[in-house]
Structure 1
Amino acid sequence: MKINLTRVAAAGLAVAIGIGAVGLGATSATAAVGDWTPNGTPEPYYIYDFDGVLQNGTTVLHYDDGFVASPSPTDVEARFAAAPADAEGVWVFIAPKGKETSIADWSSKIDFGLLVPGPDNRVLQPTASMAQFPATTFGAVKAAGGDYSLGFAFTKNNGVTFVGMGAYNTVHVVAGTGDYTYDVPQQIPGGGGSDPVGGTGEIGITTAVAGPVDGALSLTVPSGAKATLGNPTLDADGRSISTGSLPTFSVTDERFVSKPGWTVNTTVADFGSGSNSVPASALGIVPSIGASSTSSGVSKATFLAGAQSSSLFAEAVAGSGIGQTDLSGALTFTAPKGTPAGTYTSTMTVTLVSK
């Protein structure tokens, strides 16, 4: 179907308009009003050429060619929805995205005409051609290109006051030429007054919490726990060196109220093999805290030599150490030069003390 051309723009481009009773041969039907892309336009905004062919969104629309808009994807002569009661005129605009309702922020605009009083004040075929805009204001858009909103809006006070949105769409302007493409409208799920397909809500929840009570502080060392150091080798000084690791032992602190903290100390007896002995200081220990621990704020000694006197292995200061702390350590035994061969044994005593 051909578009009804009822006047010619000042720039010489044929522009089809139809506002109220002015449009010739226009149908009275319009597309359903709803939520459309881009989000914020009250109606879809489809673009047709002057032969009434719907543009598909991928074809480049040339700056000098003529185009008009319709709310229908099948009827170029469909009218847009009625204007607000206080609207006096219609302006076609191109604006930065998000600035559609701010006349002062529009990049360029043209006066599309006065509204005809009466119940049928619905816009027909607003122009969608780029050449329609004044060169003085559209020049910056043409030079820079980019994404804009193209559409029309209702105004009063000679186009100064915005009173309502007609419809618009996103256009992608080619820098330097003013050619453009546009996004074919899509209805947003749940819009247009249809039954909702989703939603959110809030439910208040109130619960009582019983006050915490202190539990116990305990130490767990596996039954029969043993550390065996093997594969002895002689170093450059002729000393026998062997390595191993401590089995994991655990501190559990369930004193959730007082949280006084705790200390783990260790003592090591001298090593003996028959009548031969090696002092406890021959054992070096590098403590470690297991990754499976649930406590926080626990610190450990960097290194300690096994000694008959108590040595700090790990500790939790007041306010920390609640939960389970798994402890272990790397062992290195360095026998003094000349120590007779044999199997030497000792015992480590682990003591947990509350702060």
Structure 2
Amino acid sequence: MFRKNIVRAAAVGVVVVALVAGSAVAAHAADTVPPTVGSKGPYYIGDAGDGSIIPAGTELDFDYALIGMPSADPADIEAVFPGTPDGETVRTFISPRGSEHTPAQWTAWADSAFKTGTKDVIYPAVTLGAQILGNQSTVRAGGNFSIGFAFMKNNNLNLADGDVYFTYITVQPNGKWTFATPDGSGPVDPEPSADSFDVNLEAVTTSAPDGALSLVAPASNTATIGNPALVDGLSTSTGSLGDFSVVDERFQTHPGWTLTTTVTQFTNAADSSKIINASQLGVAPKLVEPNAAVTLANPQVAGSATYPSVFAQTGDTAAAGTAKFNADLKFVSPVNMPAGTYTSKLTLTLASK
């Protein structure tokens, strides 16, 4: 029965070679490789010829035909490594120790397969020479590695929930290598100490709604630019626009928005023939409260302002929520215009990007 299964495994990458007695396996000190940590479960190494478990610390040739097994019990010779529904492919691999869960860091690997008709794995190849993809020469040069297999998904980019099974190995520059095998007494990962415990966490979340974009006007619809004073011979008045807000609750789509300022010409309240151009009004946007999503426009300078002009905007990164604004206003009257009260209209327009 076992030899029949080995033939099936060989079709998916297990290299079975003829064994020459005494040339491929040799006794070696079992303490040369530290205990394996991080494998999903025990990973025993068996002889691909007869399925016998090879003792930890045995020195092996680089191309000696070997298979991985989840149990050291001869009665479990056909035991499988259980997979999960999300598994799409299987790969055997050699990796630096600690990189077993990161496919991008594997040193060498090979495509393998599931047991026919299942998502489980049986007899994955442990032969170092069978890991034909990647950089096998790095392994042959010697060092500390892990050898095992992984359940994969997403075109071999990510691990499936079946995870990885592996054991630590040490390769000599001549290609000979030894390995560590769990003794079957418990999980490979260290158990919590007596004064600790594990808690499984479940976090329940909700999605933010994709709301609306709106503009909230100042409390007063009139902004007074007063306290006129002569600056370099020109009447200069100052004031503020008043607090107003942009509310962006489009938390799902967040395309961004643009706030634009337009200003009409200023007309003398006592003599409508006396007109001052809107360019004499300076507008300096400011945030009343910090908002990292908002970018303020540069101030429009009194005497050389141009309208329409951008007041503030956001990009397609995240909804800004509520952004509260104000603006400093500065009006400079030309020297040839009479003193008095001049009226105009400033309009702020909010548009989605």
TM-score (norm: length of structure 1): 0.43
Structure 2 length normalisation: TM-score? 0.44
Which of 1 and 2 has greater Rg? Answer: 1
